Amino acid sequence: MPKVTAAVIERDGAVLIARRRKSDLFGNVWEFPGGKIEPGESPEECLRRELMEELGIESAIGACLGSFHYDSEFMDIELLAYQVTILSGELVLNDHDEVRWVCPADLPDYVFAEPDRPLVKILVGSKSA
């Protein structure tokens, strides 16, 4: 089963989310930035590479927040989510049409790609305790 990564980047109590371009699979919906792990690449290496490619940022990869299986008629993947800190760079939209910093409690107000929805539930739950 292919593995993909997702970054949970926090700043001042808000989480960075990105909206996929309309023409993409899951187009016009929100996600946590990340991407597919390439052969021979660790999840952390993948996430650093993807964040540079997608958003133009250097990052430090922290703790794994969880692994989530997603299976549909379109794909069967394992999503690995990590805490991430931006080290340098300005956000540049190379793969998305918008990014926002959102309070975790407000994440349910956004339509997320199906593979990201379990992560949204965890983030909302962890901030409401």
77 contacts 115 by C-beta, under 8 angstroms: yes
Strand-pairing partners, residue 55, are none
For the chain, the domains span: 3-128
Q: Which residues pair with 7 in a beta bridge?
A: 82
Average pLDDT, the chain: 93
Nearest to 34 by CA among 12, 64, 58, 4: 4
Closest among 29, 24, 7 to 111, alpha carbons compared = 29
CATH 3.30.1370.10 applies to domain 3-128: no
Q: What is the dihedral of CA 35, 36, 39, 41, to 10 degrees?
A: 30
- What pLDDT, in 10s, does the model give residues 28-52? 899 999 999 999 999 999 999 999 9
Q: Categorize the per-residue pLDDT at 105 as very low, low, confident or very high, splitting at 50, 70 and 90.
A: very high
Q: How many CB atoms lie within 10 A of CB 66?
A: 14
Cα 86 to Cα 103: distance, rounded to the nearest angstrom: 18
pTM of the model: 0.91
% of the chain with per-residue pLDDT over 90? 84
C-alpha dist (Å) from residue 11 to 77, 120, 125: 28, 17, 18
